[in-house]
Structure 1
Amino acid sequence: MYKLLIVDDEQIEREGLQAILQHGLPELVIEQAKNGKIALQMAEEFQPDLILMDVKMPGINGLEAVELINASNPAIKFIMVTAYDTFDYARRAIKLGVKDYLLKPSKASEIVATVQRVLHLIEEERKTVETTEQQRFALQKVMPIIETDIVTQLLFDHVHEVHLDELVGLLGVSTANEKYAMTVLLPNGSENYYSAIKEKVRSMGSGWVGAMYGRQIPIIVFPEAERSVRSQAVTMARELLAVAKSDGHEGWFIGIGNVYESLDQIRQSYQEALIASMDPTLPVKYRFYEDTPVLGVTRDGYPVKQIEQQLFDRIRLGQWEQVRTDMLDFIRRYENEGANLLYTQQRVLELLWIASRVLLEMGVEIDTPLYSSQAQDYRQLRVESELLLERMRQTFSEHHDRIEPDTIQQIKQYIMDHSHEDISLEAIGSMVGLSPFYISKMFKDQLGINYIDFLTECRIKKAIKLMGDPERSLKEITYMVGYHDPNYFSKVFKKMCEVSPTEYRKTLLGK
C-alpha cells in the first residue's frame, strides 16, 4: 500500500487526477492539498510516499514546496504537473530530485503509467534498503568472529595481505598509527569475565580482543595519535582491572608490550606482553615490557633476547630437546663469564616463566615454575632447571596425548561442511576442547596451510560450483558461500583465481 498526495490550486484538476488514479491503481491511499502551504503541513501529517505537485500556485509555488518538503522528508518522491515544458524548469526540477513530470493535459493512461513507474522505483529502493539492513545486521553478527580470528592469526600465524586489508576495513579501525599488544591474565574460575572485557574494550573503541585461551586474553590496541601512548595504556589497564572490582584484583595481571608501527610486528609486542606478565604477585597489577628487568647481552655479545624468541617458537612447535639445549647453553654462557649464581638463577627462572606462558596460551595449564631453594653451584642449577623443564615437557605431552589422533581431520571436515557459515577458531576450539592457538598450530603443522587460507579455499571452491548455474547472481553466490561483502568476495576470488568472478564466470559459461 502506498500513500499519494495531490497538490493543485484547482479543485477540478485534483478531483480529476484522483478519479483517474483510484480507477487505475485502486490500492493507492490518496489525499489532496489545495496549495503549497497546506502541502507542507500534510507532508508531515500524512507522510505520503509520492506527491503529484502542480508547479504554478499562489503563495508557495510547486518547486519551492518540493525544496521545503525535501529538506525534512528526503524519502518522499515527486512528480511535477505543469503546463510549462521548458529546459530551465526541467533542469531545476531534476536538481531537486523530481522523478518525473506530467504535462497538462495528459491522457489517463499516461498519468497511471507515470505514477506506476515511480511507485516501482519506490518499491525497488525499499527492497534495497531492506537488503542493505539485513547485510548490515549479518555483518554486525560476524564482526566478533572476524575480530577474534584475526587477532589469533596475527599473533600466531601469517595472515594473507588480501584478508588482512579487507578484514581491517570491515572492523573499521585505523591501523595506520602505532599499535601494541596487551595480555590480560585471569585467576582460575574467572572465564565469565571474558565478555565484560570484550565489552569494555569495544566501549573504549581502541582495540581488538582475541579468543581466550587458558586464562589469558590477548588484545591488540590502537592508541590515539594525539595523546601519550603510555598514559593511554595505563588508563586502559586500569579500566580493565576495574572489571574485577567484585573480587578485587586477586590473580589478575596485565602485561603491556612495546609499541610498533606495523601489524606484522604485533606478534613481537604480544610476546613482550607475555614476558611483562610473568610475575602476577607485583603490587601494581600491570607492567610494561620496557619496565621489565631485561635479560640483556652476555659479555661475548650473545643477545639473550634471541633466546626469548626461540623459546616461543620452539615450545609452540614441541621442540623440547632444542629448548633444553638452549637453556643449558644459556646457563653455560653465564657460568663462563663468572656471573653471580643468584643472578643467573633469576635469569633462567625468567626463561622458564616465558615457557609456562607459551604453554598456557596453547591451553596447557601448568604451575608457575619455581626453584625449591637457592642453588649452591652451577651443577645444581643445571639439574634443577632440567627438572623444571622436564615437568613442563611431560605436562605438554600428556595434553597432546589426550587429543584424538584424528582431531585435525575432524576439524578439517567440519570446516568443509560449514564453510558457508560464520565459523571461527574460537568456536571450533570449544567444540574439540582445544585453544584457538593450538588448533592454528596443528593445522599448519599437519596440513601445511593456515586456517584462514583453508577456509577461503573451501568457500571459493563452492563459489565456482555455484557459478555454473546462470540463474544465480554473483551477489547471491557471495552470501551463499559465507561472505557478507561482495567487494571482499571479489578481491579474495581474484587473489585466489587470478581473475575476477565476472571474468571467470564468462569463461566457465562460455565453455
Structure 2
Amino acid sequence: MRILLAEDEFIERKAMRKFIEENFPAIEIVAEAENGRKAIELAEKTSPDVIFMDIRMPGINGLEAIEKINMGNPAIKFILVSAYDSFDYAKEAMRFGIKDYILKPGKKEEIVKAILRVQKEIEVEKIQQLERIQALGLRHERLITELMHAPLQESTLIMQKKLFPKMLSGCFLVVKHGSKLMVEGGLQRLGQAAATFQFITRQVEDIVVVCLLASTILQRSDVLQVARSLQQKIGDTVYIGIGSPTTVLAELPRSYEEAYEVCMQLGTDRKRQYGFLSLKKTGQKGEAILARIEAIIERGQQEEAIQYFQQYQDKLTLSDKEELYLRLKNGLVTRNIAPPSISFSSLKTNQDWHAFLHLCCSKMKGFYQSKSFIEQARNFMHTHFQEAITLENVAASVNLSASYFSNVFKQEFGMNFIEYLTMIRMQKAKGLIEENTYSLKEISFMVGYKDPNYFSRVFKKHYQESPKQFQQAILKK
C-alpha cells in the first residue's frame, strides 16, 4: 500500500511517517506535502492508495484538496487528521466517502485501526476488480469462439451488442508461432491505429486467433497496416493470416476461415510474413488442397470439409490422398486424440472418405470444446472458490452434464473436482496466513469454510500441520 502524508506541521508529519514505517514495514510513504496545493500536485504525480490529510492547512485546506484530488483519481482513499473535533468537517468529508477521522494528537491504536480498515477495503476492492476482469475475460472468450464458427446464433448477436455496442465492422487475424501475451502487447502498442478498434484473442495450440472489432468501417488497407505493424513488433518468426473485413456479423466466421487458411499457407511457403488469401481461385493442386482440407478439419467443420473434398477430389492423386490420410491421423495423435480405426486401404469410395472426414472432424471439435470448457470451468473455480460451489454448479456454468464434466475434468487435471477445489482453497489459505493480516477464523470463511474446525482438519491433511502450527512457525522466523 502507498501512502501520501499531507500535514503542514513538520514535526507532526515526521512523527506520523516514523510511526507508520516502524509498524507497517510493507507500506511505502511515497511523498509528503506541507499544504493542500502540494498535496494535489503530489497525488497526481505519485498516485497513492491512501492520503493522510490534515484539514487545516495554509492556502487550500484539506477538504478543498480532497475535492480536487477526488476529481482526478476517485480511487484514492483518505484518512482525515485534525486538531478540531468538528461535526461539520466530518459531515462535509462524507461527500467523498471518507469514514476515518483522527483527532490530534492521534492515539496509536486509532491510527493502526484506520490503516487496517482502509487496507482491508483496498484488498477487497482489488479482489472484486479481479473477479470482474476474469468474468469479462470469460465472456470475451465465449464471444470469439462463437464468432469463429458458422452459423451464428441470435445469442451471439446479443452478446456482441452488449460487450461491443459501438462495433461497425470487424475481421479476424490468425497468428502462428506467437503467444497470446505477445500478440496482445503488440496490438496495444500500435498507438493511434489501436484507438479505432478493440480486440479479443484466443490461444489455440501454437496459433493466436484475434478478432478486431472496429467503431469505423475497416478497409483492407487498414487491416494490412495493422498486421504489418504487429509483425514488426513481434518479430520475423510469426506468420499473420488476415481475413476479409466485414460489416455483417454473420460473415465473421468466413473471415476467420480465410485468416486461418492463409496463415497456414504463409507458414508453408515462407515467402512473406503476413497477408490476405490469394484472390486466384483456379489451379489449386495437391499441396494447396491438402492444406485447405487439413485446416478445415482442425476447426472441426464437418460439412465444409466434406463439401471441399467433393469439389477437389478429382485433382487429388492416390499419393495425395494417402498424404491427407496420414496428416489427419497425425494431427489427432499429436493432440493425444485417438484417431479413427480406419485403414487407408479401406477408403475406396467417396462415402468411405466422407465417413473418415466426419469422424476426424468430430474428434477435433470435441477436443477443442473440452479444452475451452475446462479452461472456463477452471477460471470459474478460481473466481468462486470462497463460495459453496459444487460439481453441478461448475458443470452448469459451462453447459455440460455433471457426469461428463466430471470425467473430462479428471482426465485434464489428474484429480477429481473436490480435490482440485480443496487445493485452490488451501493455497489461498496458506497465502492469507503468511500475510498475517486476518485471524484464522476469518481466513476459514474467506476460503469457503463455515466451520473453522473442519477447515483446520482439511488444512492439516493438506500440509501435515494445523493452521495454528503453520502460523506460529511463520511468526518465529
TM-score (norm 1): 0.43
More contact order relative to length (CA 8 Å, sep ≥ 6): 1
Larger Rg: 1
TM-score (norm 2): 0.45
